[in-house]
Amino acid sequence: MGIEVANSVCGLLGFLTNDGTSDDAVARVADAMHCLRHRGPDEHGTWHDDDLVFGFNRLSIIDIAHSHQPLRWGPPEQPGRYALTFNGEIYNYLELRAELAEQHGAEFTTEGDSETIVAAFHHWGADAVRRLRGMFAFAIWDTVERELFVARDPFGIKPLFMATGSAGTAFGSEKKSLLELADVIGIDTDLDPRAVEHYTVLQYVPEPETLHRQIRRLESGCHARLRPGKEPEITRYFRPTFPVRPFAAGREQDRYREIAEALEDSVAKHMRADVTVGSFLSGGIDSTAIAALAKQHNPDLITFTAGFERAGYSEVDVAAESAAAIGARHIVRVVSPTEFAAAIPEIVWYLDDPVADPALVPLWFIAREARKHVKVVLSGEGADELFGGYTIYREPLSLKPFEYLPAPLRRAAGKISDRIPEGTRGKSLLHRGSMTLEERYYGNARSFNDAQLRAVLRDFRPEWTHQDVTAPIYAQSAGWDPVARMQHLDLFTWLRGDILVKADKMTMANSLELRVPFLDTEVFRVASQVPLDQKITSGRKGVPATTKYALRQALEGIVPPHVLHRAKLGFPVPLRHWLAGTELYDWAHEVITESGTDHLLDKAAVTRMLVEHRAGPIDHSRRLWTVLCFMIWHGIFVEQRITPQIQEPTYPVEL
Helices 621-637 and 193-202, interaxial angle, to 10°? 150
Burial of residue 422, with CB atoms counted within 10 A of its CB: 0-12 exposed, 13-18 middle, 19 or more buried: exposed
The backbone torsions φ and ψ at residue 224, rounded to the nearest 5 degrees and listed phi first, read -140, 145
The backbone torsions φ and ψ at residue 115, rounded to the nearest 5 degrees and listed phi first, read -60, -35
Active site residues: 10
Peptide bond into 208 cis (omega under 30): yes
Q: How far apart are CA 37 and CA 160, in angstroms?
A: 16
Per-residue burial over 539-578, b = 16 or more CB atoms within 10 Å of its CB, e = otherwise: eeeeeeebbbbbbbbbbeebbbeebbebebebbbbbbbbb
H/E stretch holding 128: helix 128-131
Beta partners for 169? 16, 164
Query: Rg of the chain over CA atoms, in angstroms?
Result: 24
Q: How far apart are CA 486 and CA 645, in angstroms?
A: 40
Pairing of strands 161-164, 216-217: antiparallel
Helices 337-351 and 500-508, interaxial angle, to 10°? 100
Question: Is the CB of residue 90 less than 8 Å from the CB of residue 113?
Answer: yes
Question: Is the CB of residue 148 less than 8 Å from the CB of residue 140?
Answer: yes
Q: How far apart are CA 529 and CA 510, in angstroms?
A: 37
Q: How far apart are CA 70 and CA 87, in angstroms?
A: 11
The backbone torsions φ and ψ at residue 278, rounded to the nearest 5 degrees and listed phi first, read -115, -165
- Cβ neighbors of 587 (< 8 A, separation 6 or more) are 341
Q: How far apart are CA 456 and CA 406, in angstroms?
A: 35
Q: How far apart are CA 130 and CA 119, in angstroms?
A: 14
For 51, the 3-state DSSP assignment is coil
Q: How far apart are CA 168 and CA 164, in angstroms?
A: 6
Pairing of strands 376-378, 43-48: unpaired
Task: Please count the helices (runs of H) and the strands (runs of E) in the chain.
Answer: 29, 17
Torsion, Cα of 575, 578, 580, 582 (10° steps): -170
Burial of residue 95, with CB atoms counted within 10 A of its CB: 0-12 exposed, 13-18 middle, 19 or more buried: middle
The beta-carbon contacts of 603-611 under 8 Å, at least 24 apart in sequence, are 605/455, 605/456, 606/456, 609/456, 610/579, 610/585
- Cβ neighbors of 346 (< 8 A, separation 6 or more) are 509, 644, 645, 646, 647
* Alpha carbon distances (Å) from 408 to 307, 438, 440: 48, 17, 17
- Cβ neighbors of 113 (< 8 A, separation 6 or more) are 5, 6, 7, 62, 67, 89, 90, 93, 134
Q: How far apart are CA 344 and CA 353, in angstroms?
A: 13
